Structure 1
């Protein structure tokens, strides 16, 4: 891609010159054109599928550092019987962020209906989404097909 730059992933930043904000889905990449808040095109061409949530930023070939941030996105903030609600969310293999007195999932009307039916109090919000990592690997829910059905 002409005019774009390849980059190196960084665990720590010294002086970022710009920022790239990505939602949860967009933070899982291998090869992608990204655009900074300042309008600079950046081309990622990574050796494997990578969750950018694990990195602070990027270093461009000219040494410029670009911060990586989670973008706000529509979510549901859930309160109630958290162990029970978390079990049902997990049973649907839905990414879930855990707080001390609440759970957060991406906005989904089907899950909202299920959770309300279980007695959950639900508040709509827009915020960066940082779900729990999984027990195996880096914690992405990579689809639902895993050899059994949830239909009863």
Structure 2
């Protein structure tokens, strides 16, 4: 078996077009990577070797050293749709727990978590367990992940 060609470049969704050699279907957690061997849907492997840990989004592409493009697709995963009379209040409580959250016009989406679900239900939320791609909001300072206060330097004490 030949060692897979490395992919060292990410092409962001909307900045590229044209044919792709294959597709990788990745969950939210799997789309946060720096160096990892991935299996494409067509059966080929690709060795992702990025300069820094990167948050990939659906529609991005990984470009191999020979110019082939591998499309990134968000995989279905267990999530919870959150609906309620006061979505802003529910979103505040989710955000206060540094939890990734997808925001839609009439509902929020979080990963399944029985503790958060109990809290949201107590606040009057209506919850629906579904299997769907998860696309939470990125960080406030640009493309990428929202990291909790324990994951990034910030310069202030917690005392």
Structure 1 range deviating more: 71-80 or 135-144 = 135-144
Query: How many pairs were matched up?
Result: 148
Aligned-partner Cα distance in 2 for 1:39–1:143: 36
Gapped regions of structure 1 (runs ≥ 5): none
Structure with the bigger percentage of helix? 1
Tell me the TM-score normalized by structure 1.
0.88
SS in 2 for 1:50: strand
**When the two structures are superposed, what TM-score results if normalisation uses the length of structure 2?**
0.85
RMSD (Å) for aligned C-alpha atoms: 1.9
1:72 maps onto 2:76 in alignment: yes
8 Å Cα contact 1:13-1:56 kept in structure 2: no
**Which residue in the other structure is 1:41 paired with?**
45
Residue in 2 aligned with 1:106?
A: 111
Aligned to 1:16: 20
Q: What does 1:129-148 align with in structure 2 at a 5 Å threshold?
A: 129-145=134-150, 148=158
Distance 1:115 1:26, change over 3 A: same
Match in the other structure for 1:83: 88
Residue segments in structure 2 that go unaligned for 5+ positions in a row: 152-156
Residues 55 and 144 of structure 2 are in contact (CA less than 8 Å); yes or no, is this contact kept in structure 1?
A: no
